[in-house]
Structure 1
Amino acid sequence: MANNNLFDSIPSGIIPQQWCNLPYLHILDLANNNISGAIPNCLHDLTSLVYDESSMAATLFGEKRYAEQTTLMDKGGEREYGNNLIYIYIYINIIDLSRNNLIGEIPEVITSLIQLIALNFSWNQLTGSIPKKIGNITGLERLDLSNNNLSGPIPKSISSLNFLSHLNLSHNNLSERILSRNQLQTLDDSSIYADNPLLCGFLLPTKCPGDEDHTSNSSTSGGGGSEDNGAKNDNEMLWFYVSMGSGFLVGLCGVCFTLWIKESWRQVYFRFVGIA
């Protein structure tokens, strides 16, 4: 953990509330332990993750580099941050509590840590919903809440995370429609939402309620129009032939009737036919 004198890990137990009183903490990495209990509700006291200290640090200390190295889980793999990668005025703000036995809900105060770039609560036993104001963490690049028992809809505010490049919400009990706007349009991997039986819509084979009716109505409307046009054309052709046949019959009857009542015309006609 950066800017502190903490050593070793916490193999078991809970996260101490006292750790919220570490104003210079930038990396809280407790992954792969046996930590239980709830996520502390005082994380907003980690002021270095709430306020932008970079400009002040650069002014006071200049381009001082860190001497130590840090290895963090990033997008499923490990990434090293060393003395040539982190400047004192460019902070890497990360919370990684993955692969523990944490229970309870994700505290809403997590959304006040607007300087975070990575948040990983995966592989725990968290319940409840994703905080509605998760979009307040505007600089968030990586968010992994997979393999928990989270429920409810995906908050609309998550679509406002314009720097989000890695998202994993799989293996939960999330429900309702998947968002497909803004930055989320670029994250078009269906595995992001895998094993959430109640999710529907974009990228998933499960259609949301109303989608089937819309598709059906569109198909019916399109198909019905073609059938109506075909029937209309058939009727027009039928009436054309009926009219033509009727006209021919009326004309023939008229000629025959005229020849029947006009003997002089009849003689002329027979004489003409005989000559022909």
Structure 2
Amino acid sequence: MPSLTDLDISRNSLNGSIPLSMGNLTGFRSDLTNKDTDDYLYQGRLKVVAKGRVLEYNTILYLVNSVDLSDNNLSGEMPVGLTSLTRLGTLNLSMNHLIGNIPAKIGDLERIETLDLSSNKFSGPIPQSMVSLTFLNHLNLSYNNLSGKIPTSNQFETFDASIYEGNAGLCGHPLPNCQGGKETPEVPGGDDEDDDSKLDKLWLIFSIVIGFCFGFWGVCGTLVIKKSWRYAYFNFADKVYAYVLAILKKRS
């Protein structure tokens, strides 16, 4: 099918893996000559699910370049050959059972505008090569098993957190910062506040110890030094003891 520029077999019951031969669909490749493009000038109407909504085209159909395999029972890994379809504007593989890593060469889809890989079982990190997809304005990676730090720079600075929902292992802007990474922000003055808190606790402990020592030796030291006070203290203690003992005997 060398002239195919739009493939929509979504919402079926297709199962099995995505054919490796899909990478040979020359209508989606950018190595076409001007003579080749004449074969794709045809009339008609076309509805495409892209950018999260249904778009209808009735002119320049040869520029649509869309592959929609969503809402099937496809399994296995995403074929690396799909990344050679460099004329692709829309790729929708959502709502299947695809596994494995997102191919690192996905950055070769230089004209991709809409990429939907949501509701699958993709794992591993988001490829850093995706920051080179400068035409990409609609991305959905939600409800997979992706992990690691979200790439930064270019269009990734503008994407909403909702496109990463359901991936507990992802971190970094616009999600919470990665633990133990360079991206973890330092709270201004945080170290100084900790030091001040530790110093306050140290002074409190020191004050309690000093107060106890002065109180203890203030009483005991006086009894040791002044014999008359020592006799008076022990005499008073004996009287109190005798008084308490007499009361206990009466009650018994």
TM-score (norm 1): 0.65
CA deviations over 1:210-237 (Å, ceiling 9, x no partner): 1499545765335468x59xx9xxxxxx
Alpha-carbon spacing, 1:213–1:140, altered in 2? closer, same or farther (3 Å): closer
**Could you tell me which residue of structure 1 aligns to residue 172 of structure 2?**
201
Q: Give the SS at the match of 1:32.
A: coil
RMSD: 2.7
> 1:107: which partner in 2?
79
8 Å CA contact 1:38, 1:104 repeated in 2:
yes
Alpha-carbon spacing, 1:220–1:211, altered in 2? closer, same or farther (3 Å): farther
Residue of 39, 44, 52 corresponding to 1:76: 52
Equivalent of residue 119 in structure 1, options 87, 91, 97: 91
- 1:237 is matched with none
Alignment identity in percent?
A: 42
The structure-2 alpha-carbon separation of the partners of 1:44 and 1:212, relative to structure 1 and needing over 3 Å to count, comes to closer
1:67 alignment counterpart: 43
CA contact (8 A) 1:159 1:182 kept: yes
* 1:160 has 2:132 as partner: yes
Query: For the structure 1 residues 70 and 203, does the alpha-carbon distance in structure 2 shift closer, same or farther, using more than 3 Å as the test?
Result: same
- Are positions 1:184 and 2:163 aligned together? no
Cα contact 2:178–2:184 (8 A) shared by 1: no
Q: Which runs of 4+ in 1 moved over 2 A?
A: 51-58, 64-67, 211-225
Distance 2:87 2:41 in 1: 20
* 2:118 corresponds to: 146
> 2: distance between equivalents of 1:198 and 1:110?
26
* DSSP-derived class of the 1:192 partner: helix
1:35 to 6, 11, 14: 14
2:129 and 2:82 map into 1 onto residues whose CA distance is 14
8 Å Cα contact 2:172/2:183 also seen in 1? no
The one-letter code of the counterpart of 2:52 is G
Describe how 1:1-276 pairs up with structure 2 within 5 A.
22-53=1-32, 55-57=34-36, 66-82=42-58, 85-86=59-60, 90-187=62-159, 189-205=160-176, 207-211=177-181, 214-215=184-185, 219-221=189-191, 223=193, 227=196
Gapped runs of 5+ residues in structure 2? 201-252
Corresponding residue for residue 245 of structure 2: none
Q: Distance in 2 between matches of 1:45 and 1:38?
A: 16
